[in-house]
């Protein structure tokens, strides 16, 4: 039995090309369902003789005429399941429901977790990177005969004339000269506590006694030397003898030591984008390179260094210079602590890199101690604290500046007890 209609048996195919035929002649083109090709075959006779005619695409809806055959090509129906259409089609089940709404609570939760994780990792990484850059070269444990520690924290901040790492071009540009060795260009005590910060400048020409000490390199004891300038202590045996001398002459315990050289100072100012200063008078000093007009202006690293080093163009010489140094350092700290620096990684990291690379600190100094120091200096410029020079009584017989010792004693007592400072300086 065959499925072929009676007129389409294998015996009737003759010499047509097709299955089982050896003829090379191809059979005629079949009429496709979608396109009518030529006139329709006579009624009752298909294209192959006896095969019912296939409906043609006539009315644009897949109907070939009165037989009602539906080709299914134009309805958008999908027939995928046996015995009936696909979902939503004839004989099929219901179509897919609406797309579920996004779970915003879950998305927000995971976004918050991701952001917090990134912040924690970045903060921890930054901390260890910054901590590794601190130059902890000063061992305060070698300082002998130290006064008792008081309330609050005392930092000895030193600006040295170190030219380490500077090229000849840098030295010429910054007007530093090429002297060998290191000397102190500025010295300040910063006290922090519960009654606001106090910043006290120690004039470099202060008349002091350099006490007996043991050489940091030789290990040999050296006798006391009276009637010397304060900055001579640093020149003789560096930071530890300077700390020893300040403690001996004031009776104030120094907790931390911080030092910065010429090149590092200029680099920090440039990294932070300059510091705005209100200069009260015209200043011109060929030795420091200062050349400023009165008024507000933003100083770059080179100009800032010239400003804090100038003394010959000032009426009060070294005492006026120390006041300018206090103003500038407070303004610098305030600039570093602004959101524009702290929240801008393109400014924060260069500033931190320049500052940490150029600082020399004691072995117990941590990043939080350093941050506390800068924050206190910012407070001084913001009016939360006080800045002053060490009280001066006049000039000593050798031309050095003589401290007003009764006032100095009162000042030190107030600092030791972390009391509000009422003593005034020059």
pTM: 0.69
Tokens 């002091």 correspond to: 208
Q: Give Cα 250 distance to the centre of its chain.
A: 39
Buried b (16+ CB within 10 A) or exposed e, 305-340: bbbbbbbebbeeebbbbbbbbbbbbbbbbbbbbeee
Between 325 and 19, residue with greater pLDDT: 325
CB 62 within 8 A of CB 73: yes
Looking at residue 344, its pLDDT comes to: 80
pLDDT in tens, 260-306: 887 788 888 998 899 999 998 899 988 888 899 999 999 999 999 99
pLDDT in tens, 173-210: 555 555 555 678 789 999 999 988 999 999 999 999 99
CA pseudo-torsion sign 8, 9, 15, 21: positive
Write out the two tokens for 272.
Answer: 């932070």
Write out the two tokens for 426.
Answer: 């020059």
| Residue-range domains of the chain with CATH | 135-417 (3.40.630.190)
Looking at residue 15, its pLDDT comes to: 47
Write out the two tokens for 14.
Answer: 């003759």
Looking at residue 19, its pLDDT comes to: 45
CA angle 336, 188, 162 (to 5 degrees): 80
Between 150 and 130, residue with greater pLDDT: 150
Among the ranges given (75-79, 90-94, 116-120, 218-222), the one the predictor scored with the smallest mean pLDDT: 75-79
DSSP 114-177: HHHHHHHHHHHHHHHHHHHH-EEEE-GGG--SPPPP-SSEEEEEEEE---TT--HHHHHHTT--
Q: CB 276: neighbour CB atoms within 10 A?
A: 11
CB 267 within 8 A of CB 170: no
Among the ranges given (133-147, 196-210, 226-240, 346-360), the one the predictor scored with the smallest mean pLDDT: 346-360
CB 353 within 8 A of CB 133: yes
pLDDT in tens, 304-328: 999 998 888 888 888 888 888 888 9
Give the span between the Cα atoms of 416 and 394, in whole angstroms: 26
Average model confidence (pLDDT) for the chain? Answer: 78
Looking at residue 299, its pLDDT comes to: 94
Looking at residue 414, its pLDDT comes to: 96
CB 294 within 8 A of CB 181: no
């Amino acid at each position: 039995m065959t499925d072929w209609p009676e007129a389409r048996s294998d015996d009737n195919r003759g010499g047509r090309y097709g299955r089982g035929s050896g003829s090379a002649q191809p059979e005629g083109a079949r009429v496709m369902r979608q396109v009518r090709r030529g006139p329709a075959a006579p009624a009752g006779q298909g294209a192959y003789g006896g095969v019912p005619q296939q409906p043609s695409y006539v009315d644009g809806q897949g109907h070939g005429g009165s037989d009602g055959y539906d080709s299914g090509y134009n309805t958008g129906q999908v027939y995928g399941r046996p015995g009936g259409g696909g979902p939503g089609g004839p004989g099929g089940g219901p179509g897919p429901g609406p797309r579920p709404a996004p779970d915003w609570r879950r998305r927000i939760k995971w976004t918050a977790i991701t952001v917090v994780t990134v912040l924690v990792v970045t903060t921890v990484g930054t901390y260890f990177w910054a901590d590794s850059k601190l130059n902890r070269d000063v061992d305060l444990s070698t300082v002998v005969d130290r006064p008792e520690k008081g309330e609050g924290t005392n930092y000895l901040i030193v600006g040295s004339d170190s030219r380490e790492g500077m090229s000849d071009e840098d030295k010429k540009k910054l007007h530093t000269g090429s002297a060998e060795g290191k000397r102190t260009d500025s010295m300040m005590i910063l006290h922090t506590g519960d009654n606001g910060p106090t910043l006290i400048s120690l004039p470099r020409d202060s008349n002091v006694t350099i006490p007996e000490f043991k050489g940091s390199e030789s290990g040999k004891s050296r006798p006391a030397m009276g009637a010397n300038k304060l900055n001579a202590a640093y020149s003789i045996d560096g930071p530890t003898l300077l700390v020893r001398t300040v403690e001996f002459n004031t009776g104030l315990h120094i907790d931390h030591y911080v030092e910065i050289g010429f090149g590092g100072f200029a680099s920090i100012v440039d990294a932070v984008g300059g510091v705005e200063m209100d200069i009260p008078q015209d200043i011109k000093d060929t030795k420091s390179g200062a050349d400023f007009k009165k008024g507000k202006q933003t100083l770059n690293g080179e100009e800032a260094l010239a400003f804090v080093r100038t003394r010959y163009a000032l009426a009060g010489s070294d005492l006026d210079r120390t006041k300018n140094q206090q103003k500038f350092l407070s303004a610098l700290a305030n600039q570093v602590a602004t959101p524009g620096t702290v929240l801008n990684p393109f400014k924060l990291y260069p500033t931190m890199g320049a500052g940490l690379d150029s600082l020399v600190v004691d072995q117990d100094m941590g990043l939080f101690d350093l941050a506390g120091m800068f924050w206190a200096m910012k407070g001084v410029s913001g009016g939360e604290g006080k800045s002053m020079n060490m009280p001066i009584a006049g000039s000593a017989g050798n031309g050095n500046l003589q401290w007003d010792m009764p006032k100095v004693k009162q000042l030190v007592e107030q600092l030791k007890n972390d009391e509000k400072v009422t003593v005034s300086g020059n």
